Amino acid sequence: MSDYEERYEERLVSADAAGSEEQVIEAALRPKQLDDFVGQDRVREQLSLVLHSALRRGRTPDHVLLSGGPGLGKTTLAMIIAAELEQPLRISSGPAIERAGDLAAILSTLSEGEVLFLDEIHRMARPAEEMLYMAMEDFRVDVVVGKGPGATAIPLDIAPFTLVGATTRAGMLPGPLRDRFGFVAHMDFYGPAELEVIIKRSARLLDVRIADDAAAEVAGRSRGTPRIANRLLRRVRDFAEVRTGGEVTLESAREALSLYEVDERGLDRLDRAVLNALLRKFGGGPVGLSTLAVSVGEEPETVEVVAEPFLVRQGLLARTPRGRIATPAAWAHLGLPVPPTAPLAGTLFEVGDDPGETG
């Protein structure tokens, strides 16, 4: 996960809630087997066939690439793959591998059948990426010794392994790297019903009493993302323990989510700040990304990576060659009348429509 994507997660928790305790709880909530993994039915079925077929043949499974937004379960699936294969899991990330030697050090210590998980694989340094090509295909790397004309490449055999790569930006992966994965899966956002199942399961593990309608309320504000659903559950649990005696009811859930500035459609403070600036300061647009970011006091990449994808998916914002524009649904969400001169005035968008992502 990139720094900008992590910033969204940070906005959902208070400063004193972040830390090692939260990470331990988050790890405890992860399912350990494919059968316990909720949602992504097609991916689960396909992955199950890949793994069980390899086990029957006594071979190392093909390398696996998982793409999709942050918090959808890519790391969890990597852990499940290792568990299903009964093999150890080695975890690293693309940004941590800055040189080919860093990757060679990891690959040379892998045991046969071990699963190597590389998060944000698209951010790996190019020399390491080129070394990975040979390692994935031939289970061999060439280690260069010396410099200049006297440099020598020493071939080094490595144990057969399974690489699980995860990326939030599949389009940034070079074609030669993508082609070396035997199984490629895209993780979709979750529906409210699936998130409700996840929230109830997590509530049982956390020993939290939550009403069915409260679970549905939290699910509806979780942006289609299990990680966010679990974090919001912990926040409403905290509110219920302090304010309402422990049980999470519909009323206490709504009060807690209002306190943490998560509205009924899952928009948080930054999302609403972007919409407010776009509507009140720029008349609905079009406005450039940099100008919009300055108006809300954020970096352009933060607005582009953290806020915009969800606003576009909700049909509240459109990205066009001329700049960002608000849809009529955005005016309605903030309770403002649509000016006749506003872009897309007279056009109706339903929740989930994609009004365009060009530009």
Q: Is 243 annotated as a binding residue?
A: no
Average pLDDT over residues 26-44: 86
Q: What is the largest CA-CA distance in the chain?
A: 74
pLDDT of residue 354: 42
Mean pLDDT lowest for which of 91-100, 260-269, 337-346?
337-346
- Residue-wise pLDDT for 219-245, tens only, equals 999 999 999 999 999 999 999 999 888
Helical residues (DSSP H) of 163-206, grouped into ranges: 175-178, 192-205
Q: Is 133 annotated as a binding residue?
A: no
Residue 359 has pLDDT above 70, yes or no: no
Residue 340 has pLDDT above 50, yes or no: yes
Q: Identify the residue whose tokens are 């994507």.
A: 5
| Strand-pair partners of 142 | 155
- In the structure, what pLDDT confidence band is assigned to residue 17 with cuts at 50, 70 and 90? very low
Say whether 74 is catalytic.
Answer: yes
| Annotated catalytic residue within 168, 225, 249, 302 | 168
Q: Which of 112, 102, 98, 194 is nearest to 143 (CA)?
A: 102
Say whether 75 is catalytic.
Answer: yes
Q: Collapsing DSSP states into helix, strand and coil, what is residue 269?
A: helix
Q: Identify the residue whose tokens are 């968008």.
A: 349
Q: Is 239 annotated as a binding residue?
A: no
Contact at 8 Å (CB) between 168 and 70? Answer: yes
| Annotated catalytic residue within 227, 231, 234, 235 | 227
Say whether 168 is catalytic.
Answer: yes
Contact at 8 Å (CB) between 210 and 173? Answer: no
Quick one: residue 183, left, alpha or beta (phi over 0 = left, psi -120 to 50 = alpha)? beta
Say whether 347 is catalytic.
Answer: no
Distance separating alpha carbons of residues 206 and 28, to the nearest angstrom = 9
Q: Is 280 annotated as a binding residue?
A: no
Residue 44 has pLDDT above 50, yes or no: yes
Mean pLDDT of the chain: 85
Mean pLDDT lowest for which of 44-53, 144-153, 221-230?
144-153
- Residue-wise pLDDT for 164-183, tens only, equals 999 988 888 888 889 999 99
Distance separating alpha carbons of residues 216 and 236, to the nearest angstrom = 13
Q: Is 139 annotated as a binding residue?
A: yes
- Residue-wise pLDDT for 275-317, tens only, equals 999 999 998 889 999 999 999 999 998 898 888 989 999 999 9
Q: Which of 12, 70, 72 is nearest to 38 (CA)?
A: 72
| Annotated catalytic residue within 75, 225, 249, 327 | 75
Q: Which domains does the chain have, with CATH numbers?
A: 29-186 (3.40.50.300), 192-260 (1.10.8.60), 269-334 (1.10.10.10)
What is the DSSP code string of 37-74? --S-HHHHHHHHHHHHHHHHHTSPPPPEEEE-STTSSH
Distance separating alpha carbons of residues 179 and 181, to the nearest angstrom = 5
Residue 236 host element (H or E) = helix 226-243
Q: Is 71 annotated as a binding residue?
A: yes
Tokens of 257: 């989510």
Q: Is 75 annotated as a binding residue?
A: yes
Q: Collapsing DSSP states into helix, strand and coil, what is residue 155?
A: strand
| Annotated catalytic residue within 44, 60, 62, 119 | 119
| Annotated catalytic residue within 44, 60, 62, 74 | 74
Contacts of 178 (CB under 8 A, 6+ apart): 65, 170, 184
Average pLDDT over residues 62-71: 92
